[in-house]
Structure 1
């Protein structure tokens, strides 16, 4: 069947003709029949690359334009990855070229401002990842009850990534299942996907496209058994033999992706790598560069197995056998899209060979095995090199410490031109020499922005000294500041940070007298009051003396209050 047989609106058909779509794919035909003609929900198993994105977008466009009860409705598309959200947004804008629908996407890893403006302006088709959708819903910037269509794309991947609780929260914030249309797409069917369809869908029509038929008919598969240490030589030999126009090399770990990309680069191949922990703007930039042909090969983890569409991709190479059988389907789905032909090769080493069994069980047949001939082993210029993960990006502890100090200097407005491996000590030494200061730490001035104590109040200091003398405390101790202790005093030695108090008060000089009675007489004469202290009898040989005992906290408080009163009166 052709698209014209379904009687799409003229504006929709113009967009389809511009893209060049003519024959309807199987999943598209069944979705159009269920959603447009029967107004039923759709529950579909279909691997990526079969045209399911166009299936649900075109069906929703047709209902919004032609059915009166859907006038003004909006559609929400939930996807597992940012790349897939961006891809669906682009495809939707191409298909709706002659329509007045506003299409946008929201996802994490980027700022909120631009997405908030888009939501404020209004959007008819919203594509997003679960976390960002819930964020805007909690902030009441996106009303989920206003969406009359819900599309859950790559449902099995959402479950694998742990988004099932978030997906349930999104559905509960929307209209009841009998007041909306729900479309669920999954490359593989499992119990959780089936339960979701049963609980949150209204009499869905089932669409089942067998994955093994697609892969066998349109993708040429090869399997090589090779040792782990020979995989790079075999990869170079395959690329030399087949010389594809473009290709994707999949690995199971970020470390392997980075290492394979570096080794291919050393062997004079145009290559770039894509892993999940890269910032979102950089990931989008890499995908755009690959699509535009700036790089011949892309090395990626499974983060690129979904949502990455490269026109006429010739080859997919599984450098590592995927850990999950479903990932094999998604990897090889990058090639042979929309009925085109493609080629995929898999290298089974001693580490990942045990993943072949579940993959072949899912496919329903054995992957054809090819023998590794001697002429297929190419010379590897990177052989013997050590590739620690992220060596180009990881910094040593000393470098990170220097970076922190550099940021601190910038905060305080200091020049950091002289900053080098010597770190802060070099900077301080240069500043001291420029200011004519000594290198003696005790003569250093506090750094800008550091916490310092203000000088003690002379009147309060005199009273504190008096109390210390009356209490029998040792003389010569530094008078404490009345300010709160600096936060920075918790860290490091502060003996050079706070200058000693000036002990020039008469009370401090009097405190050097040995006799307690003389000190008491002095304060009795000055304040006209006799300070009574607790006494203890101490016996030394046959002689008994009365000496003042240490003043406890309650006594000290009372003495301090009376001294303050005397000072204020005088």
Structure 2
């Protein structure tokens, strides 16, 4: 029960109102030390409840008597607009019985309107690095009195090229007393550098191994001959699989638009989401998917992080993601919080090596699947097609053919004479041995 945590009664009231009963493993591990004021470095799988694991301790820190707001007290940094908007909703839900106010700063919104919001000085500021830097440069943002800094999906922010922005923003929070860093993956050297620079004597909590992610999600691959074949497979899957909502991931915006057009032409009700879409269209696409106005979303990796949609139980990788971490985040949209889901990756000849490397990274082997009505000619690399049994049959056939063409050896009693070979063949078959055969008597 959440009552075991040393949280303010108004926060516990909100938790009860939202029907949160049993804390998840990441909440059990992270909330107590965060409430005590420790810096944390937390790795926890997507959909495990890590947003509440940092929001509740953060709000608990801010609790107190209502007073005029004269400074931003908490800064939460996130990689995408969608994740920032979702986090704002979570903060507002948990703070519904308090006087705490939150604000959102992301790209795609009116800069002057955001400036007016900043002048009201929210207690909690949630934002993406790029637009926050713009406000710093314009003199409309002051972070010097921030008490608590939270970085969610820091590895993704580094992947998106925000390393310098993160360093600038964290350095602006010169008086911070606590820093929390949450992510679904362990990241690389860049993330370790950030951890070393921004965290002070952190407690490291790792609540999952990469290979154990999404235990409730079946992971399958279907081989395809080309892009057109993949498009037919997508249409078949959407028509024949049982699902409530689905996301189809592509690696490029051009491919997302192309596939979206194909689906609309086939009378599939869908929306498309990628970085070229303006904020209004991006919000509309996600709202329609959440509300059930559409069951299918075609998206780039902009939707691989932070998109939490009830009933999302099918993910299709039209293009194989370029890394194991991105694969984890994509399939993490389904099978969330112990639910069940299905993740299907469509594999052409140029996807196979990438798919194999992701299998090795996850220490898993994806289930191979064939759709009889759309079975293509490509079934994987040639040297993998023959199973051990098939190879054995081939060897037997070869031996039989060799025996059929070989002349029978004369018996010892046979009067016939045969010419002796001049020497024996060495074991490596490359040169005759000099030793002669003994004479036959």
Question: What TM-score range do you get, normalising by the shorter chain?
Answer: 0.7 to 0.9
Measured after TM superposition, the shift of residue 28 of structure 1 is 1.3
Match of 2:189 in 1: 191
Unaligned runs of 5+ in 2: 377-441
3-state secondary structure, aligned to 1:145? coil
Match of 2:342 in 1: 343
CA–CA distance in structure 2, aligned partners of residues 308 and 365 of structure 1: 25
Kept in 2: contact 1:110–1:281 (CA 8 A): no
Kept in 2: contact 1:220–1:344 (CA 8 A): yes
Match of 1:479 in 2: none
Match of 1:226 in 2: 224
Match of 2:32 in 1: 33
3-state secondary structure, aligned to 2:147? strand
Q: 1:57 to 1:107 in 2, by over 3 A?
A: same
What whole-Å deviation, never above 9, does each CA across 1:404-428 have from its counterpart, x for those lacking one? Answer: xxxxxxxxxxxxxxxxxxxxxxxxx
| 1:128 and 2:127 aligned | yes
Measured after TM superposition, the shift of residue 361 of structure 1 is 2.4
State which of 204, 216, 233 in structure 2 corresponds to 1:206: 204
What whole-Å deviation, never above 9, does each CA across 1:235-292 have from its counterpart, x for those lacking one? Answer: 2222222132211011111121111111111222111111111112221122112211
Kept in 2: contact 1:317–1:345 (CA 8 A): yes
CA–CA distance in structure 2, aligned partners of residues 25 and 350 of structure 1: 41
Match of 2:146 in 1: 147
Q: 1:95 to 1:209 in 2, by over 3 A?
A: same
CA–CA distance in structure 2, aligned partners of residues 225 and 138 of structure 1: 50
- 1:522-533 equivalences under 5 Å are none
Match of 2:409 in 1: none
3-state secondary structure, aligned to 2:368? coil
Measured after TM superposition, the shift of residue 32 of structure 1 is 0.8
Match of 2:99 in 1: 100
Kept in 2: contact 1:238–1:376 (CA 8 A): no
Q: 1:97 to 1:213 in 2, by over 3 A?
A: farther
3-state secondary structure, aligned to 2:3? helix
Match of 2:160 in 1: 161
Match of 1:243 in 2: 242
CA–CA distance in structure 1, aligned partners of residues 173 and 314 of structure 2: 42
3-state secondary structure, aligned to 2:220? strand
Q: How many residues align?
A: 370
Kept in 2: contact 1:74–1:149 (CA 8 A): yes
Match of 2:279 in 1: 280
Measured after TM superposition, the shift of residue 213 of structure 1 is 5.5
CA–CA distance in structure 2, aligned partners of residues 16 and 357 of structure 1: 43
Measured after TM superposition, the shift of residue 125 of structure 1 is 1.0
Kept in 2: contact 1:211–1:329 (CA 8 A): no
Measured after TM superposition, the shift of residue 375 of structure 1 is 6.9
CA–CA distance in structure 1, aligned partners of residues 23 and 213 of structure 2: 19
CA–CA distance in structure 1, aligned partners of residues 192 and 149 of structure 2: 16
3-state secondary structure, aligned to 2:46? coil
3-state secondary structure, aligned to 1:317? strand
CA–CA distance in structure 2, aligned partners of residues 342 and 103 of structure 1: 34
| 1:57 and 2:55 aligned | yes
CA–CA distance in structure 2, aligned partners of residues 363 and 300 of structure 1: 23
What whole-Å deviation, never above 9, does each CA across 1:331-373 have from its counterpart, x for those lacking one? Answer: 1111122222211111111232221133112212111212232
Measured after TM superposition, the shift of residue 73 of structure 1 is 7.0
Match of 2:43 in 1: 45
Unaligned runs of 5+ in 1: 378-570
- 1:253-264 equivalences under 5 Å are 253-264=252-263
Q: Which has the larger radius of gyration?
A: 1
CA–CA distance in structure 1, aligned partners of residues 365 and 257 of structure 2: 31
TM-score (norm 2): 0.80
Match of 2:178 in 1: 181
Q: Which structure carries more relative contact order (alpha carbon 8 Å, separation 6+)?
A: 2
| 1:324 and 2:323 aligned | yes
CA–CA distance in structure 2, aligned partners of residues 209 and 359 of structure 1: 21
CA–CA distance in structure 2, aligned partners of residues 107 and 115 of structure 1: 9
What whole-Å deviation, never above 9, does each CA across 1:377-432 have from its counterpart, x for those lacking one? Answer: 9xxxxxxxxxxxxxxxxxxxxxxxxxxxxxxxxxxxxxxxxxxxxxxxxxxxxxxx
Measured after TM superposition, the shift of residue 169 of structure 1 is 0.8
- 1:445-524 equivalences under 5 Å are none
Measured after TM superposition, the shift of residue 208 of structure 1 is 0.6
Kept in 2: contact 1:104–1:123 (CA 8 A): yes
Kept in 2: contact 1:151–1:184 (CA 8 A): yes
Worse-superposed segment, 264-273 or 150-159:
264-273
CA–CA distance in structure 2, aligned partners of residues 213 and 124 of structure 1: 39
| 1:300 and 2:335 aligned | no
3-state secondary structure, aligned to 1:86? helix
Measured after TM superposition, the shift of residue 58 of structure 1 is 0.5
Worse-superposed segment, 161-170 or 10-19:
10-19
Measured after TM superposition, the shift of residue 106 of structure 1 is 0.2
What whole-Å deviation, never above 9, does each CA across 1:100-147 have from its counterpart, x for those lacking one? Answer: 111111011221122112111120111111122122223332211111
What whole-Å deviation, never above 9, does each CA across 1:57-100 have from its counterpart, x for those lacking one? Answer: 00111122279xxx987110111111111111111111111111
3-state secondary structure, aligned to 1:314? strand
CA–CA distance in structure 1, aligned partners of residues 369 and 208 of structure 2: 26
Report the aligned-residue RMSD. Answer: 2.0
Worse-superposed segment, 155-164 or 17-26:
17-26
